[in-house]
Structure 1
Amino acid sequence: MTERKLKDDVGKLTFEQAIQQLKEIVDKIEQGEIPLQDSLEQYEKGMALINHCRTILQKAEKRIEKISKEEPREPERQDEDSEPLLRG
C-alpha cells in the first residue's frame, strides 16, 4: 500500500475506529503471528493511525480552548408574570 493511500484510508476513520485498528495491530505484532514484512507494514499503518489520533485530539483540544475562552452568557432573567422554574 502506498503511503498516500494509507494516509487517505486512515484519514477517513473516526477516533474510535482508529484506536480499534491500532489495538488489533498491536495484538497481531505482540503475538508474533505474522511474518516480518507484514509486521513492518502493520507497524507503518500503526504509526499512521497514531498520527491520525493525535491530530483528532489536537483539534478537539483547540475546540475546547475556544469554547472555554468565549464569554459566558448571563442567565436569562425570568419575567415577574411567568411561573418560577423551581417550586418549593
Structure 2
Amino acid sequence: MPSYIYWIWYLIIINFIAIITTVMDKHNAKKHRWRIPENTLLLIAALGGSPAMLLTMYAIRHKTQHKKFMLGIPMIITLQVCFVYYLFFR
C-alpha cells in the first residue's frame, strides 16, 4: 500500500476528531458542563484538523466570537498549506 494512504487516513481521522470535539464543546457549553480546553481544540487543529474544525465552528456557530479561534484557525490552515507546498514543490 502506498505510504500516502496512511496520511489520507490520518487526515480523515483527525478531522473527524475535530468535528466531534467542537460539537461536544458546544453541547457542553449549552448544558453548563465541563468544557474542552481551548488549547486542546487548537492542538487538534494544529495536528491537521483545522479545515473540519473551522467549517464546524461556522456551521454550529461555536467560538465564532473568539478572535483566538477566528484568526488562529485560518492562520494554522495557512501554515499547513505552506508546509505541504514546501514539501512537494520546493
Bin for the TM-score computed over the shorter chain: 0.3 to 0.5
The one of the two structures with greater contact order (alpha-carbon pairs below 8 A, sep at least 6) is 1
TM-score, with length taken from structure 1:
0.39
Q: Which has the larger radius of gyration?
A: 1
TM-score, with length taken from structure 2:
0.38
